[in-house]
Each structure stands twice: as structure tokens, then as C-alpha cells.
Amino acid sequence: MEECCSTKTKKEHLHTEGDGHDHGHSHDAGNQSAFQMFLPAIISFVLLLIGIALDNYIKPDWFSGGIRLVWYLISYVPVGLPVLKEAFESIIKGDVFSEFFLMGIATIGAFAIGEYPEGVAVMLFYSVGEVFQSLAVTRAKSNIKALLDQRPDEVTVLKDGQPYIVKAETVSIGEIIQLKSGEKLGLDGELLSETASFNTAALTGESKPDTKIKGDPVLAGMINLNTVSQVKVTTAYKDSKLSKILELVQNATAQKAPTELFIRKFAKIYTPIVVFLAIGIALLPYFFIADYQFKDWLYRALIFLVISCPCALVISIPLGYFGGIGAGSRNGILFKGSNFLDVLANVQNVVMDKTGTMTEGVFKVQEVDFKTNFDKNEMLKWVNALESKSTHPVATAIHDYVGEVDHSVPLENVEEIPGHGLKAMINGKELLVGNFKLMDKFDVSYDMKPENIVYTLIAVAYDRNFAGYLTIADSIKPDAKLTIDKLKSLGVKATMLSGDKTSVVQYVADALGIQNAYGDLLPEDKVNKVKEIKAKNQSVAFVGDGVNDAPVVALSDVGIAMGGLGSDATIETADVVIQDDMPSKIPMAINIGKQTKKIVWQNIILAFAVKGVVLILGAGGLATMWEAVFADVGVALLAILNAVRIQRMKF
């Protein structure tokens, strides 16, 4: 899909994709009023009522024979013609046994045996059901479609101090946008104004104002809340975070859940079977029943066809999953497919990274301790220069503590050693900055016990001599404890894995109530820990940054990325993206999965139970067309009403 396609094209694409059920009436649901959609049914209903009144109450002599047939045919056309057209188009495409085909045969058959009012009534109720389904689908998609309206098509660009309104996709990186109060930002950029407050609900689901200061990144979809602000564009229109989120949400329905895939396959096998069974019901009794009346048995076969229509299953199940995806997006949780809702519903273990997931990931230097034979200021200058080559949060903490990087430091052969730290040559001698495993790896001896210090330790060695260390502390997120409590209430085990030192990891684990926590882990150690859990035939969701932990994410059943707004790669890598860094969204995502699955299975059981009973009654001649209509349209509507419930649930 082209990211730069127009909003209108995107909306149309989203509206039709993932329906899983190609309703004739549903394609234009977004462009028609409810009255327009119901108008054919209203016309048909009025003509049918008049016909029934003429048949049973007024009984004029002229209302018989050809006139009576024509009257009911005219009543049938507004609701029947679109369905017959869909049936014909489906047959041309090779899909002979569609629900439109079933309804067409059933109602035409009713006319063939002289049951005109019932033929019209069945198609009328079916069409009304279709309209309700279309409205339900449109409503279910409104949460997700609302995202598509979050990005303005036009922005105000400043050129030589003069404002010009231009198309957002034409704006180049480096240009300056002027943003008025209440206006939405069209592209990602850097705030040039001293301070500004933004509503980030479009991206995070949180409407709480977020105050930014000069130099902070601001993203497309954010709404400026106070004074006029200026933003320097840093990302092309098609590469903005919002563009990526929109594409992700649009493609979400392409990933089908196993239940959904099964129902689709089932419908393709089930429908031809019931057609042949209906033929059998109409013809086989001839060989076994003495007073066989073809008209009676054909009527039973037609009832059987109406009842057997798999509409309730084929529409309500995708709608249920779509409702789950919509409920997630409304709460700042993006599911890349309905299959991940199913996986999360059954997940037994949540394995999480510590830094940036359960803790803020904002480190601050607490203590600096260097040996007296080393110049503290010089060592800090070197450490700062070397750490500037890393994107790890520790590097940011050191930079904040030391200040500007001195680019005159003669660093050579800089090398990052995964899970250990950094190595470089300065003045022909080796500088090591990292954890104490790095010291052990290079046989650097030290006269202290790292395990006795709770804080994260950054050890420094020069020329294979231990120079000293810095302690760095991170704070636990406010909702981290609530997250673990909720996971326990859902029956999900929590495990924390980290490359940080064991004492720090254990301290955080004890504070949160996590029983299984492991520190001092290399990336491959994390993989082995997850393999150990999976070896017990248990499902695993891994929560991390989605980039550094790529091997673990690939191994887990579902990868959840925290802080999707912070990393482009996160949105690409993870199966589920939590957009606002709040760990409490992890149990919320699991709960959405559980509720979605529960509703889907309620609909499956309801549809099979009611249809099964009425099918038996219909085949035995104990059910009329009216029971058949309830078994098809009534059950479909009940299933749809049940499916849209998830959008109103509080998680």
C-alpha cells in the first residue's frame, strides 16, 4: 500500500477490507443516511402490508391471479433485486453457494409454490437484517476510521516570515510549520517555540495535556492547546509516526484469527452441503412416503435453506475481532492482527524487559568514584565521549551529568560489545566502559564487590587498570505495581529479564511483587530463558523495546512493544504496540483479547444452537418461514449486537 495515498482512498480501503463478508448493502453504508438504506425495505414493507390486507381483510374480486402475482413481485423487487444481483455476481466469480444464492432460491421457490407473501417477507426481513449489519459494521469501524481524520491534509508553512497554506505531503524536511491554538500538527518535527502544550489522544489514547519544551520532538496528530507554536519538520509526510500507525491499523484485519479462518473455510464447505440436503428433503421422500406432495416437501426444503444461511457466523465473528482491534486502538493499544487477540487471550506468561518497560528508562548519575591516581575530570570527559557513540539510556545519563561532549578526545577503534559495554583506544591505550562483566572479560581486576551496590554500575578501566565507577539509578513507573497485580488476577505469570546487574533487577522485582526475575543477562541468555518457558508448552508474550530484543520477540508467541512513539523500528517489529509507555496497558491488552474471544465463542454457540434446533423442526415440517427468518436474520442481529458490546466495555 502506498503510504502517501489520499485520506479518502485510505478510508475506502479500510471500509471494505476485513469485512470477511461481502454484503451487497454494506459497501455504501458510510456514504448513505440510515433512511436511504432503509428506504427499499420501507417501500417493500408498505406494499406487503397492503397486499396482506387485500388478501385477508378487504378481499376484492380483482386481487387475484396475475394482478396478485404482479403486486407481490413489485413488493419483492426493492429488496430482492439487490440480493439476486449479488448472487449472480458471486456465481460469475466462482462462489456459487453464497448466502445470496440461498436466499434467492428460497424466495423464488416460495413464489413458485404460490406462497407470495412469505417469499416477500423472508427477503424483506433478510434485507432489514443486512442494513442493520451494515450499520453495525460502520459503527464498529468508526473508532479506527477516526484515526484517519487525525492527520490534516494541509499545513501552514512559514517562508520569509510569511505564512502559506500548502499540502502536507509537499512539505520538505527542514521547513518551518506554524501551528495555531487548537490546530493539529500534520508532520513530525522539533518544537522551535520555548514551550507548548499538546493533546496527544490521537496517538496514545490519553487526553491529558503533554507539555513540550524547545527541542522536544512533536508528532503528527498532536493538537496544539495554547499559544501559536513553530515546528521544524524532521520527517517526510509518508514516514511520520502517524502514517505508520495508520498503515498498521488498516492492515490489522488482514491477519485473521484461527477461529475466523475456520469459519470462512467452514462456510465454504457447509453451504453446498445444505443446498444438497435441501434438494434431498424436497425429492427423497417421494420414494418413501405414500401421500407425497411435492409442494409440501419443497416448502420444507426452502425453509431449510433459509435457516441454514451462515450469515450470523460469517459477519459477527470478523465484526467481533474488529471490535477488539477498535477497543484497543481507542485505548492506545495497536494490534497488528486479530490473530494476536486470540494469542493474548490464552497467554500464560508475560516476560518483560526492565528498563523502559517497568522502569522509566530515565537514568541519573548518583555517585562518581575514581581512584586517586586517575584524573576524575579527564576520565569523565573520555567516558562521555565514548558513551556518545551509544544510544543506551545510560549514555544519556552520563551526558546529562558531564555536559557537552568534547569531540577533541582522540577515540579510535570504537567497538560495542553486546551485553557488556564499549571499548576504544585513546592515546594508544585501551579504554573500557561498561558493566563488571566487561572487566572480567578483559581480565581487569577490581577491589570491590559490585553485588553489594543496588544501583546500576558503570565500571571504567584504562590500560587494563581499574579506574573507578559511576552509579546510575532508574525509577519504577507509577503503574508498574498495578500491572503485576492485574496480571496475577488474570492468572498470567510475570517474569522479568534484564542485562542490568542482578541486585538492581531483584530490587525492582521485590518492589513490584515479581517472583521470577533474572539479571546480568546477555541477549542470548534472554532467548534461553524464554526457550525454557516454551519447553513447558506454555505460551509467552515478550514485552520490550522491539529492537534490541529482536531475537526474543521472534521466539515469543506475541511481541509487545512499549513506547511505540519512540521508535520507528518498534512499530515495524512488534505484534502489539503500546503507544504511551504505560505497562498497565499489558493486562488491558490481554483482557481485550479475552473479552473478544469470549464474545466470538458466544456468537458461534448461539448460531449453531438456534440453527440446529430450527433446522430439525424445518426438516420435520414443524417450522414455517417465520421461524426460518428468526433463525437466520434474528440470530445474525443478536450476534451482531453481542459483537458490538466490546466497543462499550471498560477495560
Identity of the residue numbered 344: L
Strand 540-544, strand 223-224: pairing: unpaired
Virtual torsion, Cα 541, 315, 272, 339, nearest 10 deg = -10
Same domain, 457 and 497: no
Which residues are CB-contacts of 321 (< 8 A; sequence separation ≥ 6)? 253, 256, 257, 260, 338, 341, 596, 600
The CA distance from 201 to 199, in Å, is 6
What is the pLDDT at residue 26? 42
Report the pLDDT value the prediction gives residue 18, as an integer from 0 to 100.
Answer: 38
Question: β-pairing, 349-353 with 540-544?
Answer: parallel
Whether residue 489 sits in one domain with residue 420 = no
In a domain, 209, yes or no: yes
All three cell numbers of 399: 551526558
Rounded Cα distance, 93 and 610, in Å: 31
Dihedral pair phi/psi, residue 436, rounded to 5°: -75, -15
Identify the pLDDT of residue 545. 66
The reply to whether 451 falls in a domain is yes
pLDDT of residue 425: 94
Same domain, 487 and 522: yes
Provide the 10 A C-beta neighbour count for residue 183.
Answer: 18
Element (H, E) at 641: helix 635-643
Sequence-ordered list of residues with C-beta below 8 angstroms from that of 123, at least 6 positions apart, any chain: 44, 76, 79, 80, 83, 103, 107
- Residues 454 and 488 occupy one common structural domain: no
pLDDT at 336: 83
One domain for residues 354 and 491: yes
**Residue 601 has what pLDDT?**
92
For 231, the 3-state DSSP assignment is strand
Kindly tell me the burial class for residue 383, based on how many C-beta atoms sit within 10 Å of its own C-beta (0-12, 13-18, 19 or more).
Answer: buried
State the residue range of the domain holding 231: 172-236
353 lies in the same domain as 454: no
Spatial separation of the C-alpha atoms in residues 384 and 643, rounded to whole Å: 56
Radius of gyration of the chain (CA): 33
Query: Which CATH number fits the domain that encloses residue 395?
Result: 3.40.1110.10
- Is residue 189 situated within a structural domain? yes
pLDDT of residue 23: 44
What are the mean pLDDT values of the chain's consecutive 10-residue runs (651 residues total)? Answer: 35 36 44 81 94 92 92 95 91 83 84 86 82 69 54 84 88 92 87 86 62 87 85 86 65 65 75 86 90 88 79 76 83 85 94 85 85 92 90 83 90 88 93 93 90 86 94 88 95 91 88 92 84 91 70 82 61 77 93 94 88 80 75 79 83 82
Nearest to 319 by CA among 562, 538, 596: 596
For residue 607, the number of C-alpha atoms closer than 13 Å in the C-beta half-sphere is 26
- Angle CA 464–400–448, to nearest 5: 35
pLDDT at 17: 37
Predicted local distance difference test score (pLDDT) of residue 451: 81
Instruction: Indicate if 583 and 494 belong to the same structural domain.
Output: yes
- Tell me if 566 is assigned to some domain: yes
Structural domain total, the chain: 3
Between the alpha carbon of residue 24 and those of residues 21, 530, 625, 643, the distances in Å are: 9, 48, 23, 21
With respect to residue 576, please indicate whether it lies within any of the assigned structural domains: yes
- The set of cell numbers assigned to 353 is 524487559
Residue 560 lies in a domain: yes
pLDDT confidence of residue 13? 35
Q: What is the pLDDT of residue 462?
A: 95
Q: Please tell me whether residues 348 and 370 are part of one structural domain.
A: no
Residue 588 is assigned to a structural domain of this protein: yes
Contact 221, 182 (CB under 8 A): no
Residues 375 and 467 in one domain: yes
How many angstroms separate the Cα of 639 from the Cα of each of 29, 123, 318, 332, 431? 19, 20, 11, 27, 67
Q: What CATH number is associated with residue 230?
A: 2.70.150.10
Is the pTM for the entire model greater than 0.85? no
| Residues 379 and 485 reside in one and the same domain | no
In a shared domain, residues 231 and 380: no
Which alpha helices (DSSP H) does 209-289 contain, by range? 241-251, 258-283
Domain-terminating residue out of 475, 495, 530: 475
* Claim to verify: residue 569 and residue 468 sit in the same structural domain: no
3-state secondary structure 579-592: CCCCCCHHHHHHHH
Q: Which of 475, 502, 531 is the last residue of a domain?
A: 475
Q: Residue 454 gets which letter from DSSP? A: -
CA distances to 157, 178, 483, 550 from 170, in Å: 11, 15, 43, 35
Sequence letter at residue 363: F
Of 475, 504, 520, which one is at a domain's C-terminal end? 475
Catalytic residues: 353
C-alpha–C-alpha distance, residues 360 and 376, integer Å: 29
**C-alpha to C-alpha distance for 504 and 599, rounded to whole angstroms:** 42
Report if residue 3 sits inside a domain.
Answer: no
